[in-house]
Structure 1
């Protein structure tokens, strides 16, 4: 993994590619005028699907709601964990960059990281699924006492043409490296819990969405401290797609709000978790 350290600094063109994608969303998306209503205290009561046993919701009232929209610096994020991690891995941030021209690429059903053949596509997808599988807390007390570092709130764009995203993601990480979060579909007014983990040996992050075992998204911890977060999304090991999380600004105040224009929305489609999320 040593060749991945310093990737972002030495490949400004690739960083600008993701930044340009993110800017297209920021400048053209009309969803910003709704975001003071998302993930507010009252919002959770109307969207319980976004909460799982390992979740920052248990500590939500300990902080102003805008706290969970904040972005950590890399120094804060990398020093947050209670584990002892390999110094060679964490000496510098690793920027995971997916697709042609990036450092994680696919060719002939093989996965290459920094030019090195590391696994078959199936093996790589399975390793992401294993990393994203989180065991439930031993007790309710353990869940209640977990400390969470906010990673921020993002719009999920599925292509460069998707400048009006309907899916919003909020994420946090605990001191053991467990990722918790919520994916909210503003079009259907449905939410799903996100759970996953950080790999202390690679800085890799993998996450599952809701109850589905069909969709696993991966990125890097350093990516999650940036304004644009490249994602590699695995669909049942059958295909992968490159998406991006675009960071949203922290709300200016702690005002209450109602998702009035979303309250009447809904979906009775049993496949909405797979087709409605991605």
Structure 2
């Protein structure tokens, strides 16, 4: 595979002068390591720190490396990933240095945001052209990507033992011995969340699902260095990015036992397309959510064979979802919870507070279900 790690991106969010490019217009995206003095997500070149996926960190065994008792796989389909090593990735639980937003400003943003929730409920039904736009983008991946129906063993029973990586404190891997591997590919409905979350959330926000549609023609639009939701200004561009990073940064659990006892609901597995022309993506994302609204998952780069942990949170005030990737302090991804129940999930990718791009998650079918369909076909 000799294509670049970051295919051409979609210029969907318009700002004066463009999409707030990084210095020189070449700020790296997810997966590269070209930013001076800072490794890319997934490399092992950071001075004094081994690459994610090895077991060579002094005094700490790698995940499932055999130096500590592993957890047995579930008979009949469970996954044995050995020792998850809670706290291996501490960066993901610390707020990035570029984020200085306080709770008062976050509350102000959420208050303005909540006032617009009613105007964007049932968005896809009211604006079918926007749904067709994302569906056409997704079809480009489904129809042109050789891997769409040939997933190999991604996130399967043997895959995890070959892709050790530094996990955040909250990780759905603790539940792998309770469910077969195919469970994590299943698709939830929005209605299942009604009785899932343990929190008390504003009823006006959760009476209907909210589909977040990014870019011109959508309901989340950048204009004049501000962010508008359904036509109402809710934040400056900088505040919006910082509020996403604050939401995505989750304090670790008190101890490993707490993490082990948490149950997780799968959100499914997606191909990550960085633009309409990116019909042959090399990033695969698997996500899950727990009852407290914490997001966990794994990002896998098929080109580099690199896996990185994902961790973030659902905002009960807005249905907004934000999460971070690996040990990056720059990259923050946001979407909506309802988006993540659909076949195409628009996402907003923040590169610090200086650039933002809109990408698309394209849901992958459960390989186990595909195999069963193939066996039944005449």
Common fold: TM-score over 0.5: yes
2:351 match: 235
Answer yes or no: is the 8 Å Cα contact 1:50–1:184 preserved in 2: no
Distance 1:11 1:33 in 2: 30
1:19 match: 135
Q: Deviations over 1:151-205 (max 9, x none)?
A: 0000000000000000000000000000000000000000111100000010000
Answer yes or no: is the 8 Å Cα contact 1:65–1:254 preserved in 2: no
Give the CA RMSD over aligned residues: 1.4
2:76 match: none
Alignment of 1:25-36 (within 5 A): 25-36=141-152
Distance 2:195 2:165 in 1: 31
Larger Rg: 2
1:187 match: 303
Answer yes or no: is the 8 Å Cα contact 1:96–1:220 preserved in 2: yes
The answer for unaligned runs of 5 or more in structure 2 is 1-116, 372-378
Report the 3-state secondary structure (helix = DSSP H, G, I; strand = E; otherwise coil) of the residue aligned with 1:16.
Answer: helix
Provide closer, same or farther for how the CA distance between residues 19 and 33 of structure 1 changes in structure 2, counting only shifts above 3 A.
closer
Answer yes or no: is the 8 Å Cα contact 1:73–1:225 preserved in 2: yes
Task: Please state if 1:52 is matched with 2:52.
Answer: no
Task: Please state if 1:159 is matched with 2:275.
Answer: yes
Distance 2:235 2:336 in 1: 18
1:147 match: 263
Report the 3-state secondary structure (helix = DSSP H, G, I; strand = E; otherwise coil) of the residue aligned with 1:102.
Answer: coil
Shifted more, 49-58 versus 179-188: the winner is 49-58
The answer for unaligned runs of 5 or more in structure 1 is 256-278
Higher strand proportion (structure 1 or 2): 1
Q: 2:248 aligns with which of 116, 132, 136?
A: 132
Report the 3-state secondary structure (helix = DSSP H, G, I; strand = E; otherwise coil) of the residue aligned with 1:45.
Answer: helix
- What's the CA shift for 1:36? 3.9
Answer yes or no: is the 8 Å Cα contact 1:98–1:231 preserved in 2: yes
1:102 match: 218
Distance 1:103 1:77 in 2: 23
The alignment of Structure 1 onto Structure 2 pairs a total of residues equal to: 255
Provide closer, same or farther for how the CA distance between residues 171 and 55 of structure 1 changes in structure 2, counting only shifts above 3 A.
same
Distance 2:150 2:172 in 1: 22
Shifted more, 43-52 versus 87-96: the winner is 43-52
Distance 2:212 2:151 in 1: 28
TM-score w.r.t. the length of structure 1 is 0.89
Q: Deviations over 1:31-79 (max 9, x none)?
A: 1354140011221122122633211111012111111000101101343
